[in-house]
A and B are shown apart, each in its own frame.
Chain A
Amino acid sequence: AQKVTQAQTEISVVEKEDVTLDCVYETRDTTYYLFWYKQPPSGELVFLIRRNSFDEQNEISGRYSWNFQKSTSSFNFTITASQVVDSAVYFCALSEANYGQNFVFGPGTRLSVLP
């Protein structure tokens, strides 16, 4: 069965610090997608990124960057120069192509950015 682990339950940083949110996944499928979502205190989930299993190229979008490493089954998310508005719960998720139709969220990491 597919599984997503986010070992960090809560992280607190001071504004302008860099912070990395860890995501480790398990799958027996060779074709799969990985995702990150942000859920601010207001409650709505915001889609951030989708990465397929054949594309290990790291991605940068403004202050956000993602490091996909198939060798360690990890898809980590880094926020550079964090801001108070980055405070939210961040979910990593996995979707398999062949062995499961489910889209599975990890348990989430609550990030608090303090002024």
Chain B
Amino acid sequence: DAMVIQNPRYQVTQFGKPVTLSCSQTLNHNVMYWYQQKSSQAPKLLFHYYDKDFNNEADTPDNFQSRRPNTSFCFLDIRSPGLGDAAMYLCATSRDYLRFVGGQKQADQPQHFGDGTRLSIL
């Protein structure tokens, strides 16, 4: 059974029209991630949530927002999609943060990925 579910699998939107991508998980993991993957490139982390704490990557455009109303769901909102935002968007989860000696925390690596939502911009 799928543990990280992304809907829809394919999304088409118009240039400048807001769009929301959905991710849900049945693992009860604390951490949820959103990645953007353009054709023939590696996934690029946009942001992640640890529980309700939002962690944005420094180079994530302001156009990209996220919401996590509860443990199971996380949404990616693109406020005004441009042609350059056409990509596969991957949601992932991990159970918790890694903990190193000295108490310094770091997000665990993403362990479970959804199948992704491929976003096209017309």
Contact = CB atoms under 8 A, between A and B. Distances in A.
Interface of A: 31, 33, 35, 42-47, 50, 91, 93, 95-98, 101-103, 105-108
Interface of B: 40-45, 55, 57, 88, 90, 92, 98, 100-101, 104, 106-107, 109-116, 118
B111 A47 contact: yes
A34 to B, nearest CB: 10
Contacts of A107: 41-42
B42 A106 contact: yes
Given A43-B88, A45-B92, A103-B107, 17 more contacts: A43-B115, A44-B113, A44-B114, A45-B110, A45-B113, A47-B109, A47-B112, A47-B113, A50-B109, A95-B107, A95-B109, A96-B106, A97-B98, A97-B100, A98-B100, A105-B43, A105-B44
Contacts of A95: 98, 106-107, 109
B106 A35 contact: no
Nearest to A42: B115
A28 to B, nearest CB: 15
Nearest to B111: A47
Contacts of A97: 98, 100, 104, 106
Contacts of B43: 45, 91, 105
A108 B42 contact: yes
Nearest to B115: A44
B45 to A, nearest CB: 6
